[in-house]
Amino acid sequence: MERKPKEINYYEAVGRRKEAVARVRLYLVKKSGEIMIKNYFIKTPFKIKKGEIYVNGVLIEKIFPHSEERERYLLPLKITNNEDRFAISILVRGGGKNGWLEAIIHGLARAIEKVDKTQYRPILKKHGLLTRDPRAKERRKVGTGGKARREKQSPKR
């Protein structure tokens, strides 16, 4: 018996930066204009409208209120003309605020690329949004007194 292909409800991708990992889902919204989201991380289900972005169940404007941050996380959507096409749900774990932002940008770019590789990949690649930033925290070495590059204090005399 043949299997029927599942209907795609969303495009999913993972973005990473330092210790932060962001799972991004771009939901295809039906005619009603909103979709009900429920997952393991957020206990209560909630509705998302087209063009809205939720991070860990909270509107992204509450987590990243500054205009510079807004411009950065909307860049992958703006350059591909997908600002109001999807309802977006993001789960982020680990790292700090800047790591979260970079992971979200990376995840959004990778998810948009999955929508249409031939059309969006060259645009996103040109802006450097598909490349993961390889920089990470340097490991602590033995005998350095707690930090990666710190040297032990030498005696005064």
Domain positions in the chain? 10-126
pLDDT confidence of residue 29: 83
pLDDT score of 23? 95
* 137 Cβ neighbours under 8 A, 6+ residues apart: 18, 19, 148
pTM to 2 decimal places: 0.85
Distance (Å, whole) CA 73 – CA 75 = 6
Domain 10-126, classified CATH 3.40.640.10, yes or no: no
Q: Cα 157 from chain centroid?
A: 53
C-alpha closest to that of 136 among 14, 1, 17: 17
Residues of the chain with pLDDT under 50: none
H helix intervals, the chain: 60-63, 67-79, 97-115, 117-126
105 and 15 in contact (C-beta within 8 Å)? yes
DSSP type of residue 125: H
**Residue 110: predicted pLDDT:** 95
Q: Considering only CA atoms, which of 31, 35, 27, 33 is closest in space to residue 10? A: 27
pLDDT at 6: 61
